[in-house]
Protein backbone atom coordinates (compact mmCIF):
# COMPACT_ATOMS: atom_id res chain seq x y z
CA UNK A 1 0.00 0.00 0.00
CA UNK A 2 1.34 3.48 -0.86
CA UNK A 3 1.98 5.99 1.92
CA UNK A 4 -0.85 8.10 0.55
CA UNK A 5 -3.34 5.23 0.53
CA UNK A 6 -2.51 4.47 4.16
CA UNK A 7 -2.59 8.11 5.27
CA UNK A 8 -5.33 8.92 7.74
CA UNK A 9 -5.51 12.59 6.74
CA UNK A 10 -5.73 11.70 3.02
CA UNK A 11 -8.69 9.50 3.98
CA UNK A 12 -10.27 12.39 5.89
CA UNK A 13 -9.72 14.74 2.92
CA UNK A 14 -11.41 12.19 0.60
CA UNK A 15 -14.28 11.70 3.04
CA UNK A 16 -13.45 8.01 3.54
CA UNK A 17 -13.06 8.75 7.26
CA UNK A 18 -15.57 11.22 8.72
CA UNK A 19 -14.46 14.48 10.30
CA UNK A 20 -16.00 17.66 11.67
CA UNK A 21 -15.10 19.69 8.58
CA UNK A 22 -14.59 23.41 9.05
CA UNK A 23 -13.36 24.45 5.61
CA UNK A 24 -12.69 23.02 2.18
CA UNK A 25 -11.29 24.49 -1.03
CA UNK A 26 -9.52 23.04 -4.08
CA UNK A 27 -6.24 22.71 -2.21
CA UNK A 28 -7.05 22.96 1.52
CA UNK A 29 -9.09 21.02 4.10
CA UNK A 30 -9.68 21.89 7.78
CA UNK A 31 -11.36 19.95 10.60
CA UNK A 32 -11.59 19.62 14.36
CA UNK A 33 -8.83 17.65 16.11
CA UNK A 34 -10.27 14.42 17.53
CA UNK A 35 -8.19 14.62 20.75
CA UNK A 36 -8.19 18.37 21.38
CA UNK A 37 -5.72 20.07 23.70
CA UNK A 38 -8.45 22.66 24.24
CA UNK A 39 -11.94 23.49 22.98
CA UNK A 40 -11.66 24.61 19.34
CA UNK A 41 -8.37 22.80 18.57
CA UNK A 42 -8.43 22.50 14.77
CA UNK A 43 -6.20 21.16 12.01
CA UNK A 44 -5.61 22.72 8.59
CA UNK A 45 -4.03 20.50 5.93
CA UNK A 46 -3.05 20.76 2.27
CA UNK A 47 -4.89 18.16 0.18
CA UNK A 48 -1.50 17.41 -1.40
CA UNK A 49 0.05 14.54 0.56
CA UNK A 50 3.49 15.26 1.97
CA UNK A 51 4.94 14.48 5.35
CA UNK A 52 6.96 17.62 6.05
CA UNK A 53 6.64 21.32 5.29
CA UNK A 54 9.43 21.07 2.74
CA UNK A 55 7.39 18.47 0.77
CA UNK A 56 4.46 20.83 0.11
CA UNK A 57 4.19 23.09 -2.97
CA UNK A 58 4.24 26.83 -2.27
CA UNK A 59 0.81 27.45 -3.81
CA UNK A 60 -0.82 25.11 -1.30
CA UNK A 61 1.20 26.50 1.61
CA UNK A 62 0.22 30.05 0.69
CA UNK A 63 -3.45 29.21 1.19
CA UNK A 64 -3.06 27.65 4.60
CA UNK A 65 -2.47 30.59 6.93
CA UNK A 66 -5.55 32.54 5.79
CA UNK A 67 -7.63 29.47 6.72
CA UNK A 68 -5.86 29.16 10.09
CA UNK A 69 -6.66 32.84 10.62
CA UNK A 70 -10.34 32.37 9.71
CA UNK A 71 -10.69 29.48 12.18
CA UNK A 72 -8.79 31.32 14.93
CA UNK A 73 -11.17 34.26 14.56
CA UNK A 74 -14.26 32.01 14.50
CA UNK A 75 -13.10 30.14 17.61
CA UNK A 76 -13.32 33.37 19.58
CA UNK A 77 -10.03 32.54 21.29
CA UNK A 78 -8.15 35.53 22.63
CA UNK A 79 -5.00 33.47 23.13
CA UNK A 80 -3.96 30.69 20.80
CA UNK A 81 -0.95 28.89 19.34
CA UNK A 82 -0.35 27.89 15.73
CA UNK A 83 1.86 24.82 15.52
CA UNK A 84 3.22 22.62 12.75
CA UNK A 85 5.35 19.63 13.78
CA UNK A 86 7.90 17.97 11.47
CA UNK A 87 9.39 14.57 12.35
CA UNK A 88 8.99 12.24 15.33
CA UNK A 89 11.45 14.09 17.55
CA UNK A 90 9.46 17.25 16.90
CA UNK A 91 6.27 15.50 18.05
CA UNK A 92 4.80 14.73 14.61
CA UNK A 93 2.55 11.67 14.79
CA UNK A 94 0.62 11.94 11.52
CA UNK A 95 2.87 12.09 8.47
CA UNK A 96 0.68 14.43 6.42
CA UNK A 97 1.49 18.09 6.94
CA UNK A 98 -0.98 19.79 9.26
CA UNK A 99 -1.16 23.14 11.04
CA UNK A 100 -2.66 23.11 14.51
CA UNK A 101 -4.75 26.06 15.70
CA UNK A 102 -4.90 25.58 19.47
CA UNK A 103 -6.84 27.97 21.71
CA UNK A 104 -5.06 28.73 25.02
CA UNK A 105 -7.91 29.54 27.42
CA UNK A 106 -5.90 29.14 30.63
CA UNK A 107 -2.60 27.82 32.09
CA UNK A 108 -3.60 24.15 32.02
CA UNK A 109 -5.54 23.72 28.76
CA UNK A 110 -4.09 24.16 25.28
CA UNK A 111 -0.46 23.82 24.28
CA UNK A 112 2.22 23.50 26.94
CA UNK A 113 5.58 24.72 25.70
CA UNK A 114 9.12 23.94 26.79
CA UNK A 115 11.37 26.81 25.69
CA UNK A 116 14.98 25.94 26.49
CA UNK A 117 16.55 29.25 25.49
CA UNK A 118 20.36 29.38 25.47
CA UNK A 119 22.62 32.40 26.11
CA UNK A 120 23.27 34.76 23.18
CA UNK A 121 26.49 33.93 21.31
CA UNK A 122 27.08 36.59 18.63
CA UNK A 123 30.04 34.81 17.00
CA UNK A 124 28.10 31.55 16.65
CA UNK A 125 25.06 33.43 15.28
CA UNK A 126 27.24 35.27 12.75
CA UNK A 127 28.72 32.02 11.41
CA UNK A 128 25.37 30.24 11.35
CA UNK A 129 23.77 33.16 9.54
CA UNK A 130 26.42 32.97 6.80
CA UNK A 131 26.04 29.16 6.51
CA UNK A 132 22.26 29.26 6.13
CA UNK A 133 22.22 32.24 3.77
CA UNK A 134 24.72 30.49 1.52
CA UNK A 135 22.25 27.61 1.03
CA UNK A 136 19.13 29.69 0.32
P1 LIG B 1 0.92 15.76 15.38
O2 LIG B 1 1.43 15.26 16.70
O3 LIG B 1 1.22 14.80 14.25
O4 LIG B 1 1.34 17.16 15.08
O5 LIG B 1 -0.66 15.83 15.54
C6 LIG B 1 -1.56 14.91 15.01
C7 LIG B 1 -2.94 15.34 15.47
O8 LIG B 1 -3.91 14.64 14.70
C9 LIG B 1 -3.22 15.02 16.95
O10 LIG B 1 -3.58 16.22 17.62
C11 LIG B 1 -4.38 14.02 16.89
O12 LIG B 1 -5.31 14.21 17.91
C13 LIG B 1 -5.00 14.30 15.53
N14 LIG B 1 -5.62 13.15 14.91
C15 LIG B 1 -5.07 11.91 14.76
N16 LIG B 1 -5.93 11.09 14.13
C17 LIG B 1 -7.05 11.81 13.88
C18 LIG B 1 -8.31 11.50 13.26
O19 LIG B 1 -8.56 10.39 12.81
N20 LIG B 1 -9.21 12.51 13.19
C21 LIG B 1 -8.97 13.75 13.66
N22 LIG B 1 -9.93 14.67 13.53
N23 LIG B 1 -7.81 14.08 14.25
C24 LIG B 1 -6.85 13.12 14.37
ZN1 LIG C 1 -1.86 12.11 3.36
pLDDT averaged over the chain? 97
| Full domain range(s) for residue 23 | 3-134
Average pLDDT for 45-66: 98
Domain count of the fold of the chain: 1
- CATH number reported for the structural domain that contains residue 79 in this entry: 3.30.428.10
In whole angstroms, give the CA distance from residue 127 to residue 110.
36
Beta-carbon count within 10 A of 42 CB: 25
* Cβ of 99 less than 6 Å from ligand 1: no
Percent of the chain at pLDDT exceeding 90: 96
**Residue 98 appears among annotated catalytic residues:** yes
Query: If we measure between CA atoms, which residue out of 57, 60, 49, 62 comes closest to residue 97?
Result: 49
Task: Identify the pLDDT of residue 1.
Answer: 62
CA of 57 to the centre of ligand 1 (A): 22
CA of 42 to the centre of ligand 2 (A): 17
Average pLDDT for 79-107: 98
Our measurement of the distance from residue 114's CA atom to the centroid of its chain's CA atoms, rounded to an integer in Å, reads: 18
Beta-carbon count within 10 A of 84 CB: 16
Amino acid sequence: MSKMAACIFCKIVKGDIPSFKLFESERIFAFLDIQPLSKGHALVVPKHHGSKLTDIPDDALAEILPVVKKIAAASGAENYNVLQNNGRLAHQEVDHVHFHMIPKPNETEGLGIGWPATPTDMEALKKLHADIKAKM
